[in-house]
Each structure stands twice: as C-alpha cells, then as structure tokens.
Amino acid sequence: MSMNLAASVTVFEQEVVYRECKHNHAASLGRVSFDGCREFLQGSEENNAMLCAACACHRSFHRKYTIYNPIPQTRIMDNNNTNTATPTSSLAGAGGGRVQLRAEAQEMKQKRKKRTLFTPEQRNRMMRFAERLGWKPQKVNKDEIQRFCLDMGISRRMFLVWLSNNRRRAMQIATTSAN
C-alpha cells in the first residue's frame, strides 16, 4: 500500500493569541481574585511590550491560545519555490497526514531590538553610581535610581539590566586590584 506523502501533508501557520488574565491578585492572602481583564492588549512602548495595557500584568499571566490556520495550497507552492518557509517541527495530524509548523525566524530577527551601546562616559558614570549603591538596587534607592536614569537619558530597566550584566565583572576587577 503506497501512499503519496506529498499529497497527505497539510501545512498550517501558527498564530498565538493571549486571552483573559489569570493573575491571582489575592494569592498571598490564600484567596482568589482576578482583575477581569478579558484579553491581552500589548503596550505601546518598547520597554512595556510584554505588559498588558489593560491590567498591567505580564503577558505570561494571560491564557495562551494557539490557532492553526491552514495555508492555501498556492501559498505552499510559492513558499517551496522561494525557500522562505522553514518548518520547525512535525506533529501527527488528525487527518492522518503530517502537520508542519512554519517558523517566523526571519521576521523575529527583523523585529529584534538592537543592542544598546553606551558611551564610555555613560559607562563610567553608571560604574560610579553602581559602586555607590553597592551593586545592588535596594527599594530605598528607587527614587535615586530613577533620578539618575532620567539624568542619563536611559530607562530604569536599561540601567538595571546593565547593572546585573556588569556586577560580576566589576567584582572580579575589585578583587584583583585589592590583591
């Protein structure tokens, strides 16, 4: 019994939608309380793209719903001819054929934010400020950190990422210079 494998392949595009918020705001009290957010609305700023504009919760708190849209046969042929489709995995389909999921790796590379490059002056100022903080941002220093970031022209999150990325290196430099 020979079957043409190419004829039995069904190709789908994967679309992910984030639905209602499942963040339990009363979990620490041993209770259950949801905020009523019905759907994830992506924030407009680059820094808050993963936060819901409606409830301010992270996207991971929202229920993930995957939709599989079949790709029309003409589009499949176009993709095979131009080599733009890159299947990432094969799963057993309900119809007995194989289901191929198309990766959006090309688009993700284009959407990825460019790496932030700091000037030597900015790095020196951040290094001095981080040493003054003891390389650990405390809650009591939150306003001071915010003022520093506004003065530097960077976001607080950008400074905290830089701080965590450079903490170990600075500690190594401090221990070698002390010896």
Span between the terminal Cα atoms of the chain, in Å: 77
pLDDT of 12 reads: 78
Q: Residue 28's Cα: distance from chain center in Å?
A: 26
Does position 179 have pLDDT exceeding 60, yes or no?
Answer: yes
Per-residue pLDDT tens for 77-86?
Answer: 555 555 444 4
Q: What is the pTM of this model?
A: 0.40
Please name which of 131, 117, 139, 120 lies closest in space to residue 163, comparing C-alpha atoms: 131
For residues 142 and 80, the model is more confident at 142
Per-residue pLDDT tens for 45-62?
Answer: 766 778 888 888 888 888
Per-residue pLDDT tens for 143-161?
Answer: 999 999 999 988 899 999 9
What are the structural domains of the chain? Answer: 10-111 (no CATH), 120-178 (1.10.10.60)
